[in-house]
Amino acid sequence: MNILTEEFKTPFNTVPFEQLKNEYFLPALNKAILIGKDEIAAIVSNTQTPDFFNTIEALERSGELVDRISHIFFNLNAAETNPEIQQLAKEISPLLTAFANDIMLDEALFERVKWVHEQQDEFILTAEQKTLLDKVYKGFIRNGANLNNNDKEQLREIDRQLGQLALLFGEHVLSETNAYTLEITQKEDLAGLPESVLEAAAMAASKRNKPAHWVFTLQAPSYLPFMTYAENRQLREKLYQAYASRACKPNENDNHSVIMELVQLRNERAKLLGFGSHAEYVLQERMAETPQKVNSFLDDLLQYALPVAREELAAITAYAQQYQELATLQRWDIPYYSEKLKKEKYNIDDEVLKPYFKLENVVGGIFEVAKRLYGLVFKENNDIETYHPDVKVYEVNEANGQHLGIFYADFFPRPGKRNGAWMTSFRGQKNVNGQVQRPHIAIVCNFTQPTSTKPSLLTFNEVKTLFHEFGHALHGLLANGTYTSLTGTNVFWDFVELPSQVMENWTYEKECLDLFARHFETGELLPAELVQKIKDSSNFMAGYATVRQVGLARLDMAWHTVAPNTITNVDTFENEILQKTELLPQVEGTNISCSFSHIFQGGYSSGYYSYKWAEVLDADAFEFFQERGVFNKETSQLFRKHILSAGGSEPPMQLYKRFRGKEPSPEALLRRSGLLRPNQTS
Ligand SMILES: [Zn+2]
């Protein structure tokens, strides 16, 4: 028996992780694909006249077993992988690509879809059904349904190669991140580092059986504090070099040629489908619509951010000169001196705040926020199985006790976990003729671990990350649609960060912090003046940060709009594009693109701009909350109804206007981040 193809006989039909074995995946998936193909064959051979239900809806409901198995598999590959799973991924990815392509290139199926699309005025369809029909139809066109057989073959081959290259890119970055350690044996080299960081480094050393006393790694909870606090400039430079040269050194993990192949193939694919570039292809289904709009959006922000960023760096340089002779400020100086200056200016740093942000308290706090805004109740359930003992599981209910979904929270770094933080799902939400399936949502993070003497104490940034991912989770949990592919986070990419980023705003509100920010030892509430300082300091270096984000977004756009045959060298190309946003000296042997996993491994290609785009939305949305109080029920109900529960059921601008009563304006963002000077208007 293979449990992956059976109905899960577990609480809430959650994944039975404890009985799951790696060898189940491939046979289960092969079986699921056969079932999926039968379902498609049944649609195609249906002798009735094609209509929305026997074609579009039937297609939406097909392949569910494939989806279930692949969700579980890829969630594990991201959060708890090992060489065996990585090897399996190489076999599974091409199978899934082939299955998806078989559907997309099925001519008889496309004929039916096309017919329904052309006859749509004959049917009475809801807005949601119209969106689904349009999405399905465009999906076919965008996947080559209108191509001749030769071109279809070529498209399949390109997709197969692209899938493998993306996996390869990610493996290279993961290997390089895990391969490097900075071993320190002299206590004086640790000057400036807080006690908690030293403890973690000592623990990392003993875990590795290293003769050294302290070990630092390239994983964020180790790398970032070292860059922020270590006085030893040479060591900061050394660690920076290691971090920024990941996957761009001439070894077996070099991503230079992977990038060239990726952009070449993406461009070929776009051309084959009738688009000018990969970016044009991607943006056809985005709120931003075209590369021109994205670039002018970015240039607009840059125009406000650059002068502020230059002033900020001048201030840091002047400040740093008090401590040491610095001919030029280098990249490994920025986190260190900006933290020092920030501390002097606001007398606030992570170490002062961390005792108030014990992980368990913050989690309790965010549940309370969800209760005040949406009436939700989170209840831990230890009977639900997990893929790792660190993972916590909660039942989520409405205020009236009605079951809403399952929430998994996986907080700490492990060698088999990807860097960063993300939300994902084990199953989505849907409504089949009144039978509602509620979603199973997970967030995966890499937060500061507890030590032998201290619980997990989060930095303020980690608190914001938790609120961010929790916002995505709410989008998933509050989904209330008919079709899985139009619910939860299944929205346009430049809209998906609105629910997450808007949640970050609450972390600056005293009313919110008072719910959970208590000292883990004394129980004292985070003092009001510290809350004010957090607010005041939140715009510290905002210009620099904006320029950096815009730089990455422009780099992403460039990789996917410039004709690849005009690009001869990854490094030269990158430098050329970054020139406009470059405020610091180049560092030999480092490169951003080779570890830019967002755009070369994940799905953010031609989409990195969407972080800023969504910031415009979230700043504008939060001003609406602020106008009537941050826990105002009417505002939160509007947000729940039109944004969180609506998913991708209608075009995002329409949904947004229904919530806000107007289109978003960039001024709220410029105002919030202090980039709009009094005499300027946007
Ligand atoms: Zn996000």
Question: Can you tell me the distance from the alpha carbon of 175 to that of 177, in angstroms, rounded to the nearest whole number?
Answer: 5
How is residue 420 written in tokens?
A: 């960063």
Distance from residue 471's CA to the centre of ligand 1 (Å): 8
| Confidence check: pLDDT of 222 > 70 | yes
Judged against a pLDDT cut of 70, whether residue 388 lies above it is answered with yes
Which percentage of the chain shows pLDDT scores above 90?
Answer: 88
Percent of the chain with pLDDT over 70: 99
Contact 128, 482 (CB under 8 A): yes
* CA-CA-CA-CA dihedral for 151, 152, 158, 159, to nearest 10: 160
pLDDT at site 130: 97
Across the range 516-538, mean pLDDT stands at: 90
pLDDT at 578: 97
Q: pLDDT, tens digit, for every residue of 56-107? A: 999 999 999 999 999 999 999 999 999 999 999 999 999 999 999 899 889 9
| Ligand 1 center–CA 259 separation, angstroms | 24
508, two tokens:
């600056």
Helix H segments across 45-119?
58-61, 64-79, 83-104, 107-118
DSSP 45: T
Instruction: Please give the full DSSP string across 565-589, using - where no structure is assigned.
Output: GG---HHHHHHHHHGGG--S---TT
Query: Does 356 have pLDDT greater than 80?
Result: yes
Model confidence at 681: pLDDT above 70: no
Binned at pLDDT 50, 70 and 90, residue 397 comes out as very high
Over residues 352-361, the mean pLDDT reads: 96
Q: Which two tokens stand for residue 91?
A: 């076999």
**Structure confidence at residue 678 as a pLDDT band (50, 70, 90):** low
- Quick one: which of 174, 201, 172 has its CA closest to 185? 201
Q: What residues contact 165, with CB distance under 8 A and at least 6 apart?
A: 258, 261, 262, 265
Tokens of 538: 């939140």
Cα gap 563→545, rounded to integer Å = 29
- Over residues 141-155, the pLDDT tens digits come to 998 898 998 998 999
CB 78 within 8 A of CB 445: no
Ligand 1 center from residue 315 Cα (angstroms): 31
pLDDT digits (tens, 9 = 90+) for 247-304: 999 999 999 999 999 999 999 999 999 999 999 999 999 988 899 989 988 998 999 9
- pLDDT single digits (tens) 481-502: 999 999 999 999 899 999 999 9
For range 45-49, the mean pLDDT: 96
**Judging by DSSP bridges, how do beta strands 440-444 and 435-437 pair with one another?**
unpaired
For the annotated catalytic residues, the residue numbers are: 469
> Can you name the residues that pair with 403 across neighbouring β-strands?
397
CA-CA-CA-CA torsion sign (83, 226, 333, 241): negative
Q: How confident is the model over 443-465, as a mean pLDDT?
A: 95
Which residue, 482, 394, 381, is CA-closest to 442? 394
Of 475, 480, 457, nearest in space to 402 by CA = 480
Determine the distance separating the centroid of ligand 1 and the alpha carbon of 309, expressed in angstroms: 25
Q: Is the dihedral of CA 164, 166, 168, 170 positive or negative?
A: negative
What does the pLDDT read at residue 679?
60
- Helical ranges in 538-632 per DSSP H: 542-559, 570-578, 597-600, 610-628
Confidence class of residue 680 from pLDDT cuts 50, 70 and 90? low
pLDDT of residue 167: 95
Residue 147, amino acid: L
The predicted pLDDT at position 515 comes to 97
pLDDT for the residue numbered 348: 79
Crossing angle of helices 570-578 and 542-559, in 10° steps, is: 140
Which pLDDT belongs to residue 378?
Answer: 98
Tell me what the mean pLDDT of segment 400-410 comes to: 98
Compute, in angstroms, the gap from residue 472 CA to the centroid of ligand 1.
7
- Global confidence as pTM: 0.82
Query: How many angstroms is it from 42 CA to the middle of ligand 1?
Result: 38
Q: Are 473 and 407 in contact (CB under 8 A)?
A: yes
Q: Which of 607, 605, 608, 596 is nearest to 570 (CA)?
A: 596
Token pair 């689904």 is found at 132
CA gap 503, 615 in Å, rounded? 11
DSSP string, 507-538: GG-HHHHTTT-B-TTT-PBPPHHHHHHHHHHT
Buried b / exposed e over 358-393, threshold 16 CB at 10 Å, is: bbebbbebbbebbebbbebbbeeeeebbbbeeebbb
Give the three-class secondary structure for 331: helix
Question: Which pLDDT score, from 0 to 100, does residue 249 have?
Answer: 96
Q: Length of the chain, please?
A: 682
Distance 498 CA to ligand 1 centre (A): 8
The token duo for 540 is: 């510290």
| Contact yes or no for 470/366 (Cβ under 8 A) | yes
For the chain, what is the mean pLDDT?
95
